[in-house]
Amino acid sequence: MKKLFICCALGILVVAFSMRAEGANADTFALVDSNPINGQMVKVEDLLDRGIYLKFNNSVDRAYEQYISIELIGEGGFTCQWNICGWVEYKENDTKVIWHPGEHFVNSVFKPGAHLEIGIGFNDLGTSYNLRDTQGNLLQVTQLDFSIDSCQPSVNLAISGSPSGICDLSAVPISYFVAGDTVNVIYGLINPTCGHPIEVEVKSWVKLPDESLVPLVLVTHYQMAPGETVSAVLPYTFSGQESPGTYVIGLRILNPITGNHISTATTGFYFGACPPLPIF
C-alpha cells in the first residue's frame, strides 16, 4: 500500500511539473512568423506585395516598438528604427507588427543586391534592450538577415551637362544651373542577363520648386529581354524664365498588371544660386 501511495504521489508530481513547464512555455514571448524570413533572398516587388511583418505568439507592448530596426549592411550602411524610416501598424490583437517603409527608404535602399538585417532588440555596451509583450515577457535579441535579389530589373538616373557650378552641401553635392546652361537627364532601364523577358511600366516626372509634378515625355511601356538595357538622354537648356529652386527628377518601373513597385531612382539639381541648406 505504501509503495502504491508513493508511486501515485510521484505521478502527481510529474504531472504537476509537466503542467507548470507547459504553462511557462506558453507564456514565453516568441517570434512565430515573418516576412521576409531569415536568410531569404527577395524581389522588391514580392517583398512589398506581401508586406514586411513580424508575427508573435503574444501581444506586443507598443511602448517598445522603437527596439525594432532595419540595418543596411556593407559600405554606406546604417541602422534605422522602423518608426523613424516608415510607420508601424498593428494587427491581430497586436501580435502582428507590420512595417510600411517610407518612399525615400524604398527608393534609396531596396536596390538589387542590397544586404539587410531586421533587428528585434539589440545589445549595447553589455546591456540588452529587448522587445516585450504586454505581460512583461522579454524577447531574446533576434536578427533576420535578408537580401534583395540582384536578378531583377532596375533603373538609374544621372545629371550631366554644363552646370555653372557645384553647391557643396557636404553630404550631397549638387549641380546648379543658370540661364543659358544645358542640363542632360540620363536615364537607364536594366534587365540583367540572369533575368527573364519582362514588360515594365515606366513613370517619370520632374518635381518643380513649387512641389508640383510635371511628367516627362517617355515611352510608358517596355518589353525587355534578358541582358537588355534601354537608355536615353533628355537635354534641356534654361531660358531664364524658370523658377529658381530645387528640381527633382524621378524614374520608376512598375509591374504593368499589378502596379507593384519594382525599382525607383531620383536625382536633382538646382536652378539659380546655391541653396542655403541641404535639400536632400
Can you tell me the mean pLDDT for 28-35? Answer: 96
* Helix, strand, or coil (residue 218): coil
pLDDT at 275: 66
pLDDT digits (tens, 9 = 90+) for 215-269: 987 778 889 999 999 888 989 999 999 999 889 999 999 989 888 889 998 888 9
Can you tell me the mean pLDDT for 179-200? Answer: 90
At residue 276 the predicted structure's pLDDT band, cuts being 50, 70 and 90, is low
E strands, 47-181, are 52-56, 68-73, 78-81, 86-91, 96-101, 115-120, 122-124, 127-129, 142-148, 154-161, 165-167, 174-177
Can you tell me the distance from the alpha carbon of 17 to that of 21, in angstroms, rounded to the nearest whole number? 6
Contacts of 112 (CB under 8 A, 6+ apart): 148, 149, 150, 151, 152, 154, 192, 263
Q: What percent of the chain has pLDDT over 90?
A: 55
Q: Give the torsion sign (CA, 33, 56, 113, 86).
A: positive
pLDDT at 208: 93
Predicted model pTM: 0.73
pLDDT digits (tens, 9 = 90+) for 263-272: 998 888 989 8
pLDDT digits (tens, 9 = 90+) for 108-143: 899 889 999 999 999 988 889 999 999 999 999 999
Can you tell me the mean pLDDT for 55-75? Answer: 95
pLDDT at 34: 97
